[in-house]
Amino acid sequence: MNPVSPSGRNAGIAAILAAAVLWGTTGTVQALLPAGREPLVVAALRLLVGAAALFIIALSARQSRSAFLRLPVPGVLGAGLAIGLYNLLFFAAILKTGVGIGTALAIGSAPIWVTLFEFGLYRRIPSRRQGFGQAVCIIGAVLLVVSGAATNASAPGLAIATLAGAAYAAYSLLTSRIGHRAPSATIAASTFGVAAVCTAPLLWLLPTGWLADAATWSKIVFLGVVATGLSYALYTWGLRHVAASTAVTLALAEPLTAWLLATVVVGEAVTPTKIVGAVLLLAGLFIVTGRGGRRDLESMRAAGSC
């Protein structure tokens, strides 16, 4: 097992933040889709197109191609099922809670879930600095996303959103554990291939007539190739160098990006609450990216792999 260098960790942090920025474009692009779109079909298509893009990336290099033969199958299957479940649960939660509440619960709960999973598996708790940074990030993200959002969310919707956060946390933790076993492009392609196969039946079970417009397909391709394929290629690579608990916290930069785009592109009003949320989120990210995460990643790998 190779130790994680400071420069490698910094590069991993940059990759995960870049992935979060790309994820932050999702809401704006989806808002441009036809009003009659089926959210679960959008989720399935994102995974399908994203998996195709990731396989193209993986197959373009000899090292990545040959690594398909030595993949840790249980870990890949687990991560693939987790990310597929996350997408379905997230979009189902959005239907029942609205975008703001659903996003805040799904993304904001992920760092908490990872902490619980890591304690259950490794009896490890985050350092005071990491824990404080996570809390500040979560509070900032919630203020950013929930401010001005509708509050008529149902109890089942809240539960589904929370479970979505658990699925995302499980994907991040599993991917982090197997990240050193094969090139990141191979792992990302394989996990998303599993997710795409599992969610593909929705394309036959749910309405797809709204996909007839060519302009709609250009947005679907963007969601699949850029906001899913490229972003998760970066995220998977980043998980080789950053602990899962740090990664899911850094991913909270997604709502910050979404807010900036909504303000600039859609013309969403800037409120004091959202400004406070943005400041807290940036402060939390600064705290989390400090020293300490490298030891967490190495001890997790030493504890075992899938």
Q: What is the pLDDT of residues 22-77, one digit of tens each?
A: 988 887 787 788 888 888 999 999 999 999 999 999 999 899 999 998 899 999 99
The C-alpha atoms of residue 116 and residue 125 are separated, in whole angstroms, by: 8
Q: What's residue 186's pLDDT? A: 95
Q: pLDDT above 70 covers what percent of the chain?
A: 90
Mean model confidence pLDDT for the chain = 85
**In sequence order, which residues have a C-beta less than 8 Å from that of residue 265 and are 6 or more positions away?**
28
* Average pLDDT over every residue of 5-10: 80
Most confident of 106-110, 235-239, 251-255, 282-286: 235-239
Report which of 193, 208, 247 is spatially closest to residue 55, judged by C-alpha positions: 193
Coil, strand, or helix at residue 125? coil
Q: What's residue 1's pLDDT? A: 47
> pLDDT tens-digit profile of 174-229?
998 898 889 999 999 999 999 999 999 999 999 999 998 888 999 999 999 999 99
* Average pLDDT over every residue of 126-150: 81
Region at 47 (left for phi over 0; alpha for psi -120 to 50; beta for the rest): alpha
Please give the single-letter amino acid code of residue 98.
G
Region of poorest pLDDT, from 129-138, 148-157, 235-244: 148-157
Count of CB atoms situated within 10 Å of the CB of 76: 24
Q: What's residue 153's pLDDT? A: 65
The C-alpha atoms of residue 23 and residue 250 are separated, in whole angstroms, by: 12
Q: How many residues would you count in the chain?
A: 306
- Six token digits for residue 202: 């929705």
Residue 120 has pLDDT above 60, yes or no: yes
Residue predicted with more confidence, 293 or 26: 26
Region of poorest pLDDT, from 108-117, 125-134, 257-266: 257-266
Region of poorest pLDDT, from 65-69, 136-140, 205-209, 260-264: 260-264
Q: What's residue 150's pLDDT? A: 56
Distances (CA, A) of 213 to 24, 35, 186, 217, 260: 24, 13, 33, 7, 28
> pLDDT tens-digit profile of 75-101?
999 999 999 999 889 888 877 777 777
> What is residue 33's DSSP assignment?
S
Q: What's residue 303's pLDDT? A: 47
Alpha helices of the chain — where are they, by DSSP H? 6-23, 26-31, 39-59, 62-67, 73-97, 99-122, 128-146, 155-178, 184-199, 202-205, 214-224, 231-238, 244-250, 253-261, 272-288, 293-303
* Average pLDDT over every residue of 116-131: 84
Binned at pLDDT 50, 70 and 90, residue 305 comes out as very low
Q: What's residue 306's pLDDT? A: 46
Residue 266 has pLDDT above 70, yes or no: no
Report which of 148, 151, 111 is spatially closest to residue 281, judged by C-alpha positions: 111
